Amino acid sequence: MLISLLKKYQSDFFPLLGTSFQKEDFCKIDLNVNAPDLDLDAIQTYDGLGFYIQNELKDNEAKVGIGGYLEKRVLYQQSNNFKSADENRNIHLGVDWWSAARTEIFAPLDGKIHSFQYNDLYLDYGATIILQHELEGFVFYTLYGHLNLASLRNLEKGMLIEKGTIFTAMGDRNENGGWVPHLHFQIIKNMMGKEGDFPGVTSEKLLAEFSENCPDPNVFFVY
């Protein structure tokens, strides 16, 4: 139901990275474990992942790489945050937008600050903002992870964020959880009582449940 509702209003969404980018400035970044020519060992290092992303952008004459919804990845195996005795979280629930640190991020539609937090574990979200939206009485949320810390200053829960407003930017590795700069963007139907954080990666065991609650965010690619 939510995706159908979002598609109904899609033409009204403001581009997440603003209007200075054109469709040809983007290319697909494939980090699935089965992706051809992907060195699974190399991309588990900061430099290796950064080299791969930059090569993909260069080869495609692009400025921003995008992709990753429901990809099975090896990227998270360096951190115990994604492991437990009974499950291994390795399936990505959002879409990543790979670009330079400080790339500005715009609100795609009207919303308000649901919560925000600095999630400082290794390979966690780092600075994180969650917006709450409502369309035709349906409440849902968008999560923005791996941000710059400065964007958390002066925020308050319930603060209105108008569509088209610059409200945050991509962070560098010292503030974004240790990642190559990018935005993790995710749709959430039910926050499950969480604030400032929500799983962005799930296990195969819980995939059906979490993919239902976190539908495909590519509906917000409106370039």
- Please state the pTM of the whole predicted model: 0.96
- CA–CA dist 113, 132 (Å, integer): 6
Query: Residue 128 corresponds to which amino acid?
Result: T
Total domains present in the chain = 1
Q: pLDDT tens digit string along 49-98?
A: 999 999 999 999 999 999 999 999 998 877 777 766 567 889 999 999 99
User: Would you say residue 205 lies in a domain?
Assistant: yes
User: Would you say residue 222 lies in a domain?
Assistant: no
User: Would you say residue 221 lies in a domain?
Assistant: no
Residue the block writes with tokens 């937008």: 97
φ, ψ for residue 161 (rounded to 5)? -125, 110
Instruction: Average the pLDDT over 199-203 and give the result.
Output: 95
User: Would you say residue 208 lies in a domain?
Assistant: yes
What is the percent of the chain with per-residue pLDDT over 70, rounded to a whole number? 98
Structural domain range at position 207: 2-214
Q: Give me the numbers of helices (H) and strands (E) for the chain, helices first please.
A: 3, 12
- CA–CA dist 212, 210 (Å, integer): 5
User: Would you say residue 119 lies in a domain?
Assistant: yes
| Residue 137's CATH number | 2.70.70.10
User: Would you say residue 220 lies in a domain?
Assistant: no
Contacts of 158 (CB under 8 A, 6+ apart): 112, 113
